[in-house]
Every structure is written in structure tokens, then in C-alpha cells.
């Protein structure tokens, strides 16, 4: 298990002086501005600094970007609601650690709006805490080392069972968009959404809505039962120093009623075989929101109490418990992520406004 903010809160807020100086000893860059970077520039920065498993979410449609070439950027959604006007940043800034704080300060100074960070790792949360942010646990992200992963042990009995779906007539193919039946994909997606509490809209920000087309470096695996398309998993990449470090299983959808259950896990396990052969290091199963929340130093206690209530009683809005249970079946490593809120924001209003921006309500 990776360390949480409880154990690293003070250390993560500050980089060693020598490290900070080395990061600063580079050529000067332009002052960051809104939407100054084109798609190619954002992608190049993402390949270098996009280490958080949700980093690819920065490329989703309908969001703003603030930054400069050679430095990095923050992606955010402007939310105006109930007399409030603020930015919602949904993952850590795409920049060097030493530039995180200055980039955030520039963003808020330029936009004249406070910024709420929805789901950042413990390192970023520590840096935000140094800026006066109050950081609450938002849930657990599960990831695993692909090369070390196996299906041994009683705890993985279900996964061993799912891994044998080829014997039941299932087959997984990685395909480009022009190789699949697009109408069948749309139909599966529509049927899948119809089984969810939020059935009329795609969630966004803390996830990335699906691209029903080929997308830059996204891997798409489709599951067939006796030749008929019955489900799919889309994997978003995350990076380290210009190379793909791993993939996040971002979009998982299956045709309701297909038996036996488990075709999506079969699809993930088959995709992992391909990733392992390619030398990819990690697979992220994504965030389990509000799962196993911990008290953190400087948190907003009332927000944690509300989130715990939501996890227990709010499954009519979002399947918090079912999602967490599914991810824990992989016995993966866990890392707590954090929601970070600047002082001066009304917590009840900000909470409702954020849920609306994500499209949970």
C-alpha cells in the first residue's frame, strides 16, 4: 500500500532546496495564460509530466487549459452556480513538481477565481496544503504492477474463473474504430447507461467520457461472445519522462444480461497479456470514490462526514460500493487521493456545484 497524506503531509509539501533549484535552472518560459497551448503542445507536456493515472483526463472535451509551453498547464472546468464562480481542476497539474504552486497561483490570479482540486495524489495535496488548501480524502485508486501480477491464491478465485472465458465462447480483440460495428458499440453503451442511476448523461471531469472514434494513444479492446460484440474496455495511457508507464481502465461497458457475468474482467485480463508482452509496467483500475475514507490533518470534517454518508446511502446516485468491491477483487495496491479546497469557499454550495459539474446530480 502506498503512503497516504496522513504519513507524508509535512514532507510532501516541500521539495528539497537542491531539487527545486535544479528544476528552476532551465531556460525562461513565457508567462502562463489561458488556452495558450495547442493540442500538440498539451500532448507533449502530458507525455513528460502526466504520471497520475488520471492524467489523460486533461484531454477531455469541454474544459479550459491554463499554462505555457516549456512549463506545463492546469486543466479546469469553470463552474458558476448559486452565486459562486470557481474553477474545478480534476487531476494534478501537468508540470514539474517545482512549478505546481506557481502555476496554481498564476491561474487564480489571472482568472480571479478560486480553484477546487477534485482528485489529486498525496504529493500534490501536500503542495496544495502549503498554499492554504484544506485537503480531504476523496477515495482510493487501485493499481497493480503488470509483470508481478498473477492469479494465484484463494483471494483471486473469481479472476481465475473469469480468465477462462475463452472456453465459453468469448474472444477479446484490440481493434481500431473502423474495424468494429459502431452501431453495436453505441447500442451496448446506451443499454449500459440505462442500468445506471445517472442514465441520461455521461459523467465527466473525474472520469473521461468515451470517444467513439480512434483517440490518441488510447487502446480499445472489444469482447465477443460466439462472434457477437457484447462489451468493451477503453484504456487511457499515463506517462513518465516521455514513455508510457501504464494504462487506466477508464471505460468499461457490457451488454446487460449476457451470461455468465465477468466478461469485462476477462477483457481486462486479456488486455494485460498484451501490455505485459509490450513491457508496459502498470495497470490502474481507477478511483473508487469515497471508499475507505481516512481523517487527514487540516481536513474539513463536515465534508468527510457528508462523503461517508454519501458512500453509505447515496448509491442511488452512483454505485460507490459496487465499484469499490469490483476493484478490490484484483488485490491491487491502493493509494488515497484527495479533494483540496481553498479557504473562503462555502463547502455546502461547492459540494453541490461540484456534483452538478461532474453530472452526478
Residues 340, 341, 342: CA angle, nearest 5 degrees: 125
Interhelix angle 301-313/347-358, nearest 10 degrees: 40
DSSP E strands in 165-242: the ranges are 170-174, 219-225, 228-240
pLDDT of 26: 41
pLDDT tens across 191-214, in order? 999 888 765 678 899 899 999 999
- The answer on 265 and 304 residing in a single domain is no
Same domain, 255 and 155: yes
Q: What pLDDT is stored for residue 131 in this prediction?
A: 95
3-state secondary structure of 318: coil
For residues 148 and 136, membership in a common domain is answered with no
Residue 294, helix vs strand vs coil: coil
Tell me the helices (H) and strands (E) count for the chain, helix number first: 11, 13
Residue 322 lies in a domain: no
Write out residues in the chain with pLDDT < 70, as ranges: 1-29, 198-200
pLDDT score at 353? 87
Alpha-carbon distance 123 to 67, whole Å? 20
Q: What is the pTM of this model?
A: 0.90
CB 251 within 8 A of CB 210: yes
Grid cell, residue 109, equals 490570479
Q: How many domains does the chain have?
A: 2
Q: Which stretch of DSSP H or E encloses residue 45?
A: helix 39-49
**Is residue 325 situated within a structural domain?**
no
**Residue 319 lies inside a defined structural domain of this protein:** no
Q: Which residue from 225, 325, 214 is spatially nearest to 266, judged by alpha carbons?
A: 225
CA distances from 43 to 120, 128, 217, 242 (A): 20, 24, 10, 10
Question: Residue 232's closest CA among 194, 188, 262, 289?
Answer: 188
The torsion defined by the Cα of 66, 72, 205 and 293, in degrees rounded to 10, comes to -120
Do 116 and 239 belong to one domain? Answer: no
- And the C-alpha cell for 90? 480534476
Q: Please state the φ and ψ torsions of residue 238, each to the nearest 5 degrees.
A: -130, 160
Domain limits for position 231? 144-284
pLDDT digits (tens, 9 = 90+) for 311-356: 999 998 889 999 999 999 999 999 999 999 998 888 988 888 898 8
Q: What CATH number does the domain containing 35 carry?
A: 3.40.630
Are 86 and 99 members of one domain?
Answer: yes
The domain that holds 188 is classified in CATH as 3.40.630.30
Amino acid at each position: 500500500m502506498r503512503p497516504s497524506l496522513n504519513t507524508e503531509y509535512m514532507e510532501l509539501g516541500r521539495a528539497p532546496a537542491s531539487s527545486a533549484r535544479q528544476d528552476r535552472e532551465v531556460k525562461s518560459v513565457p508567462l502562463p495564460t489561458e488556452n495558450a497551448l495547442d493540442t500538440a503542445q498539451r500532448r507533449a507536456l502530458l507525455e513528460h509530466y502526466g504520471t497520475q493515472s488520471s492524467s489523460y483526463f486533461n484531454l477531455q472535451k469541454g474544459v479550459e487549459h491554463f499554462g505555457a509551453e516549456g512549463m506545463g498547464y492546469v486543466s479546469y472546468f469553470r463552474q458558476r452556480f448559486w452565486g459562486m464562480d470557481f474553477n474545478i481542476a480534476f487531476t494534478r497539474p501537468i508540470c514539474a513538481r517545482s512549478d505546481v504552486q506557481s502555476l496554481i497561483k498564476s491561474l487564480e490570479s489571472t482568472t480571479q477565481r478560486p480553484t477546487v482540486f477534485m482528485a489529486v495524489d498525496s504529493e500534490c495535496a501536500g503542495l496544495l496544503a502549503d498554499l492554504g488548501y484544506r485537503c480531504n480524502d476523496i477515495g482510493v485508486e487501485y493499481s497493480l504492477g503488470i509483470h508481478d501480477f498473477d492469479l494465484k491464491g484463494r483471494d483471486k478465485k473469481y479472476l481465475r474463473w473469469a480468465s477462462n472465458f475463452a472456453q465459453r465462447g468469448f474472444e477479446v480483440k484490440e481493434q481500431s474504430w473502423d474495424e468494429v460495428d459502431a452501431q453495436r458499440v453505441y447500442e451496448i453503451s446506451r443499454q449500459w447507461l440505462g442500468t445506471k442511476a445517472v442514465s441520461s448523461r455521461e459523467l465527466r471531469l473525474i472520469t473521461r467520457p468515451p470517444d467513439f472514434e480512434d483517440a490518441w494513444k488510447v487502446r480499445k479492446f472489444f469482447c465477443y461472445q460466439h462472434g457477437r460484440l457484447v462489451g468493451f474496455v477503453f484504456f487511457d495511457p499515463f506517462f513518465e519522462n516521455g514513455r508510457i508507464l501504464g494504462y487506466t481502465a477508464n471505460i468499461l461497458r457490457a451488454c446487460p444480461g449476457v451470461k455468465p457475468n465477468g466478461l469485462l474482467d476477462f477483457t481486462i485480463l486479456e488486455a494485460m497479456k498484451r501490455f505485459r508482452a509490450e513491457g508496459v509496467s502498470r495497470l490502474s483500475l481507477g478511483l473508487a470514490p469515497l471508499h475507505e475514507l481516512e481523517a487527514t490533518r487540516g481536513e474539513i470534517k463536515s465534508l468527510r462526514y457528508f462523503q461517508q454518508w454519501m458512500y453509505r446511502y447515496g448509491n442511488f446516485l452512483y454505485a460507490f460500493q459496487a465499484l469499490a468491491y469490483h476493484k478490490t477483487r484484483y488485490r491491487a495496491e491502493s493509494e488515497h487521493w484527495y479533494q483540496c479546497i481553498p479557504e473562503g469557499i462555502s463547502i455546502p454550495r461547492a459540494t453541490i456545484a461540484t456534483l452538478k459539474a461532474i453530472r452526478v446530480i
